[in-house]
Amino acid sequence: MKTILLAVFPLLFSGAAQALDATEMFSKCAVMKDDKQRLACYDNIRDAAVKEYQTAQQPLKGYAWMKFSDLKVDIKELNGKKVSIGALAQTMGDQLLIKSDELDMNPVFATYDKLPREDRKKLANGCQVILCKGVFYGTVRQLPLGVPGLVLDQVEWR
């Protein structure tokens, strides 16, 4: 049982598996008297956590995964391309800056009006001082500011 708990423990605290109610799930397993049933219960928790984690690691179909540094260098040649990147987001007024870290002085501008309301709300209210980490899916376009940037389609918060 210790081996199972050690294998599942890191997954339970990853961004992908936060939705799992680990306490309740482990409690149901812990009270089972039959050793085989209890082990099967723990195995099911592990399998569900691994599946959710693996699903979260796969980029959406149609979006090319890129390193953020590559996007910055090649952004002018990527017009019209769908890309996904792992980065930080910071809003300043109605501007969205995608950054590699808090001190990044060369951000990529993005628009987020196509995102679902809850994502727009998070960006508008929670990503000014403390930057928000996520995987950002969007299309490289010329933005209204006259610079190339991302038109975001979806965000997976981490």
pTM: 0.65
Angle, alpha carbons 100-105-110 (nearest 5°): 65
Report the pLDDT value the prediction gives residue 125, as an integer from 0 to 100: 92
Least trusted range by pLDDT, from 18-27, 64-73, 146-155: 18-27
CA 130 vs CA 112, 123, 144: distances in Å:
18, 11, 26
Distance from C-alpha of 42 to C-alpha of 8, rounded to nearest angstrom: 9
Q: Would you mind telling me the total number of residues written for the chain in this entry?
A: 158
Q: Does residue 11 or residue 39 have the better pLDDT?
A: 39
User: How far apart (Å, rounded) are the C-alpha atoms in residues 98 and 136?
Assistant: 9
**Residue-level pLDDT at 21:** 64
What is the pLDDT, as a whole number, of residue 47? 84
Judge contact between 60 and 154, C-beta under 8 A.
Answer: yes
Residue range 116-135: mean pLDDT, rounded: 94
Which residues have C-beta within 8 Å of that of residue 96, sequence separation ≥ 6? Answer: 89, 90, 109, 110, 111, 112, 123, 152
Averaged pLDDT for residues 4-21: 46
Bigger pLDDT: 148 vs 5: 148
Please, what is the angle between helix 22-30 and helix 35-57, to 10°? Answer: 160
Do 98 and 87 contact (CB within 8 A), yes or no?
yes
Q: Does pLDDT of 3 surpass 90?
A: no
Query: Which residue in the block uniquely carries the two structure tokens 């960006």?
Result: 123
CB 73 within 8 A of CB 85: no
